[in-house]
Structure 1
């Protein structure tokens, strides 16, 4: 049993490293859509993920279409700051995917348009900040989903 985190063309190695650490702690597979704004050999990436990289199930794709085709039939939730639905309004299920966009531009509009019914957001004050940190948002999403299913036996 697991949920999945998808990073669409991540740009900041610290964020990806922190998300990988969350994935290791929660046994959540990590899916990365290329290109990335850094190398996976990046010192900052390894430092942020500490010594947990060996515990992360990680998959790479050249496009969102490739990922969607591989997991046809699964549910994908696209996390965006201006989504109409709050993330806690959804009943998550085993196998759901949480998709996060680039730190600077988010998920491209052409991808979002194809998945209008599955946008979710985390409430925040838009007057003061543009968005939450990507690694914090990923952790919030995966832990809410895990909470709903009694944490799949995590301690």
Structure 2
């Protein structure tokens, strides 16, 4: 599974998303320009000590990304989509793209890929959800559809003797 961030602006969001990617075995793809430097302390703090375990790639722009992933299935999360993320079938090799916090994915990219646009339903008086929350919501649905392949699906309680 792959998460793509198109020109992310807030380091804490990208750090949180990076941590989610590590926890799920998901690759993170960053399309420049970024609104921060990758060595910023806010990015590292949000990603905690997981950042060095992250499979991350950077691209100069969307064309560079497309050239390096020809024929890739790219779902585009946007508030402008007509269908919900729960109405599509995700594959384990799919890419799920999210736009920058202030403006989303550019309209010209969305228009060219309208059949792959998906949205998270929400009230009409809200502009959007937080980027890292949006990534988690859609990514976990994609993983659920694929039976959480490669992830631990159950834990174990340690029963203590209480007095």
Q: TM-score, normalization: structure 2?
A: 0.91
Which of 48, 51, 55 aligns to 2:46? It is 48
Q: Quick check: 1:150 aligned with 2:147?
A: yes
Query: Residue by residue, what CA displacement relative to the aligned partner does 1:77-114 show, whole Å, maximum 9, x if unpaired?
Result: 11001210100000111210011001001111111111
Which of 53, 61, 64 aligns to 1:63? It is 61
Question: In structure 2, what is the Cα distance between the partners aligned to 1:117 and 1:89?
Answer: 12
Instruction: Report the structure number with the largest CA radius of gyration.
Output: 2
Return 5+ residue gaps in structure 1 as ranges.
none
- Aligned to 2:49, the other structure's residue is in SS state coil
Q: Structure 1 residue 153: deviation in Å?
A: 2.7
Where does structure 1 differ by over 3 angstroms across 4 or more consecutive aligned residues?
Answer: none
Question: In structure 2, what is the Cα distance between the partners aligned to 1:11 and 1:69?
Answer: 24
Matched with 1:119 is 117
Q: Quick check: 1:102 aligned with 2:94?
A: no
Of 40-49 and 63-72, more deviation after overlay is shown by 63-72
Matched with 1:130 is 127
Aligned length: 152
Matched with 2:24 is 26
Q: Quick check: 1:78 aligned with 2:76?
A: yes
Question: In structure 1, what is the Cα distance between the partners aligned to 2:22 and 2:48?
Answer: 11
Question: In structure 1, what is the Cα distance between the partners aligned to 2:35 and 2:61?
Answer: 15
Query: Residue by residue, what CA displacement relative to the aligned partner does 1:23-72 show, whole Å, maximum 9, x if unpaired?
Result: 00001000000111111111101000000011110000001111112111
Matched with 2:160 is none
Return 5+ residue gaps in structure 2 as ranges.
153-163
